[in-house]
Amino acid sequence: MSVRVEQSSGRLRLILDAPRGNAITDAMVTALRDALKAVAGSRLKLVTIESTGPDFSFGSSIDEHTPARMPDVLPRFHALIVELLRVPAVTCAVVSGRCLGGGFEIALACDVIIAADNAVMGLPEIGVGAFPPAGSILLPLKVGAARASRAILSGTARPIEEWRAAGLVDLVVPPAEVAVAAERWYAETLEGRSASALKRVALASRLVVLRSIDALLPQAERLYLNDLLTTADAAEGVAAFLEKRPPRWTDS
C-alpha cells in the first residue's frame, strides 16, 4: 500500500504509507491523484497529507529518474501538483523527519504546513545532476526568490525552524504531538467555518500561485525533459546514486 485514505466529517486524510521513507513513486502519485478525485463536489473542509514512519518522504524515487522513465513519470507528478493546487478545500501537509525533493514539492503545493521539530526540508536534486521543476516555481513564491535560490542551488536540507522563520511553516511541535496538533489546528481554525466559504477562499488564495504554475511549469518541465535529460551528467548523477558512489561529473 502506498497511500492510505481516511475520511471523516469535514476531513480527508491521505497518508503516505510505503517502505524506504515513503519515496514518491509513480504508483504513489497515481494513488494520490485518484484519492483527490473524491474531493470534487464534496463538502470537505480540510485535506491533509500525512505519513507513516519517522519521515514524511525521502523524495521522488531515483529508480524512476531515468531518461527512459521520466518523460512519463514527470508529467504525471506535475499533474498531481496542479491538482493539489485546485483542491476545493484547505490543504495541509503534516511533516515529520525528512521532507525532501518531490515530497517537499508536495508540501509546497499545500496551503499550510504543520511540522515536527525534528523535520528537515529541502530540494537536493542538484546532488544527482538535476533540478526540481515544481519546486523551482513554488518555493520562490512562498519564501522569496533569494532564499529559494540559495536552497535550490545548494541542495541543502534545512531545519524546520529556518523554514518557520521564512514564513513557510505554520506550527512546529514535538514529533509525538504533530498529529494531535494538526487535529487541534483543524478544530480551532476550520471546523466551525462554512465548507462552502472555505472552498472558495482556498481557491481564491491560490490564484497567484496557480497563474505562475500554469505559465511556468510547462517551461520548467520542457527544460528538464528536453534539455537536462540529454546531458551526460544527468545520467551520471542517477547512476552514481544507485551505485552508492561519488558522481564523476564531465560537465556535459
Catalytic residue IDs: 105, 125
Q: Are residues 186 and 11 in contact, defined by beta-carbon separation less than 8 angstroms?
A: yes
Taken in order 29, 183, 139, 87, the sign of the CA dihedral is positive
Q: Which three cell numbers stand for residue 48?
A: 491533509
* Beta bridge partner(s), residue 50: 15
Instruction: Give CA 109 to chain center in angstroms.
Output: 6
For the chain, the farthest-separated pair of C-alpha atoms sits apart, in whole angstroms, at 58
DSSP class of 117: T
CB 35 within 8 A of CB 5: yes
The continuous run of DSSP H or E covering 122 comes out as strand 120-122
